Amino acid sequence: MSPAPWRFLLAGARRRGFSTDASAPSASSQLPRGKRWDAVVIGGGHNGLVAAAYLARAGRSVAVLERRGVLGGAAVSESDLVPGFRFSRCSYLLSLLRPAILRDLELERHGLKLLPRSPSSFTPCLDGRYLLLGPDAEMNFSEISKFSSKDAMAYPRYEEQLEKFCQLMDFVIDSAPPELRQEYHTSMVDRMKDRVDKSAYWGNILRLVMQQGQKNMVEFFDLLLSPASKILNNWFESDVLKATLATDAVIGTMVSHVMVNETTGRVEGVALTDGTEIHSSIVLSNATPYKTFVDLVPANVLPENFLCAVKTADYSSATTKINVAVDRLPQFQCCRSINPEGGPEHMGTIHIGSESMEEIDIAFKEAESGVSSKRPVIEMTIPSVLDKTISPPGQHVINLFVQYTPYKLSEGSWQDPDVRKSFAERCFSLIDEYAPGFSSSVVGYDMLTPPDLKREFGLTGGNIFHGAMGLDSLFLMRPAKGWSDYRTPVKGLYLCGSGAHPGGGVMGAPGRNAASIVLEDLKVK
């Protein structure tokens, strides 16, 4: 298993709580002729839309460019995959969206309705037992006690510690990293203000660290630097509990090019593939760092070391999303009662093939050698149990987040229909072991392997996070050392997607933080 997946262990504690086609003439012809925009956003994914919303909220005119025929990027919902069913195409949970975004953009007033999962997770076992976890402390104690009394006692302390760490991480996630560069600050007053702001940032970090205390900070750094297996082995003894918690830890091309003035080195707008030019002195890219700087920006305007860092970053992926339409609700044989309308076991994330850490490790090692996992690790959600509007009566939408599937297979190709069908059926057969008859209930499905994610959504390497999220690719190192504050070597060009701090997940923080930096820089002009 990959080391130091701390962000998702922290996320596990939190989740208990609850277009236009820019390349088509018909789309570009709708743009106002000769208009100069205050800002242009490349990519209508959730971070791009968040950035655009904050800029528009501040009174700026914003154009959002999207290659696909629908807005939303990897968080899009689509209804033409299987007639009568509506799928969240790539994402499957909304557990990390920043509270400030909900508040600032008044999303609930504009129609957002959150459907909390309670319980939040269900792990069936082939021996007839199962594990339910959720926000109810008494239920958690009772459920974990079925496997280990010791673990049942330890679990509240484990969650309490993660919640303390979340208090520290909230500040980091919701702030732009404190890079010290002066080219954006032309006067001495601006430079002094920048230094004061940076000092205030580190002062807040120090205050939060001191609040944690030495013991907690030692534990925090252990969490940062250690593999998930070590952390969970130190806390718990039950295989099924460790494996359930470990799954949290292991887990488009829109335009022709960005126009840059080679004399001033400043961005001038975006050129569409049909020749249309969208003019602006501010451009925010929601594309991956590789797509942005290798494919869209002229190489001669970028520092060699920066371009090298972007090109050599880890964009590898081992994730496949399968959207399944079924004609009946799966029934798990470890549950004695039949719940045709949905029971507690259907409400949260269902962990399939995750009864032990060893199972997860074997699946990971198979993918490392270029083989799709024989017994893949599957996180299943059934949103239609909570939202009856996305499927026909009595039928359901199933999301399968599947690991591990290498981008390039050592034998065969993901483009081969037989290879694709074989893997999908392997996943369905594994679910059959826990919910007999699942395979026969499937009426249609849509599968997105890593190459599909690259082709459909412009995700380099098929990586849903726009790049690996190891310690060498986070905070001041994301997307490259010295460029973590959303600014880039091209003046006026900003990165606002998951390739920027704090990274991937449907949180919106990169878009919000990038917009705040843009607005700061506009004040300086």
Rg of the chain over Cα atoms, rounded to whole angstroms, equals 23
Q: What is the pLDDT of residues 385-404, one digit of tens each?
A: 999 999 999 999 999 999 99
Alpha-helical segments (H) within 292-369: 304-312, 344-347, 357-368
Spell out the residues 6+ positions from residue 316 whose beta carbon is closer than 8 angstroms to its own.
Answer: 407, 461, 463, 468
Of 91, 97, 37, 21, residue with least CA distance to 511: 97
How many whole angstroms separate alpha carbon 504 and alpha carbon 351? 21
Burial readout 348-377 (b: 16 or more C-beta within 10 A, e: otherwise): bbbbbbbbbbebbbebbebbeeebbbebbb
How many whole angstroms separate alpha carbon 190 and alpha carbon 208? 27
Of 324, 213, 266, residue with least CA distance to 488: 266
Burial readout 172-208 (b: 16 or more C-beta within 10 A, e: otherwise): bbbbbbbbeeeebbeeeeeeeebeeeeeebeeeeeee
How many whole angstroms separate alpha carbon 371 and alpha carbon 101? 40
How many whole angstroms separate alpha carbon 428 and alpha carbon 439? 5
Locate the domains of the chain by residue range. Answer: 1-75+100-115+148-237+252-312+468-525, 319-457
Q: How many CB atoms lie within 10 A of CB 127?
A: 9
Q: What is the pLDDT of residues 360-387, one digit of tens each?
A: 889 889 988 999 999 999 999 999 999 9
Give the pairing of strands 493-495 and 283-285: parallel
Is it the case that residue 512 has pLDDT exceeding 80? yes
Q: For domain 1-75+100-115+148-237+252-312+468-525, which architecture applies? A: 3-Layer(bba) Sandwich (3.50)
**3-class DSSP state of 383:** helix
122 contacts 349 by C-beta, under 8 angstroms: yes
Indicate the pLDDT class of residue 10, thresholds 50, 70 and 90. Answer: very low
**400 membership: H or E segment, kind and range:** strand 396-403
pLDDT value at residue 525: 61
Q: What is the pLDDT of residues 164-204, one digit of tens each?
A: 888 888 888 898 888 866 555 567 777 777 788 888 888 88
Q: What is the pLDDT of residues 92-136, one digit of tens each?
A: 777 788 999 999 999 999 998 888 888 899 999 999 999 999 999
pLDDT value at residue 479: 94
58 contacts 519 by C-beta, under 8 angstroms: yes
Output the 3-class SS for 456-519. HHCCHHHCCCCCCCCHHHCHHHCCCCCCCCCECCCECEEECCCCCCCCCCCCCHHHHHHHHHHH
Query: What pTM, to 2 d.p., does this model score?
Result: 0.85
In one-letter notation, the amino acid at residue 143 is E
Q: What is the pLDDT of residues 421-478, one digit of tens each?
A: 999 999 999 999 999 999 999 999 999 999 999 999 999 999 989 998 888 888 899 9
Average pLDDT across the chain, whole number: 87
How many whole angstroms separate alpha carbon 129 and alpha carbon 148? 13
260 contacts 298 by C-beta, under 8 angstroms: yes
Angle between helices 239-249 and 6-14 (to 10 degrees): 110
Q: What is the pLDDT of residues 411-420, one digit of tens each?
A: 999 999 999 9
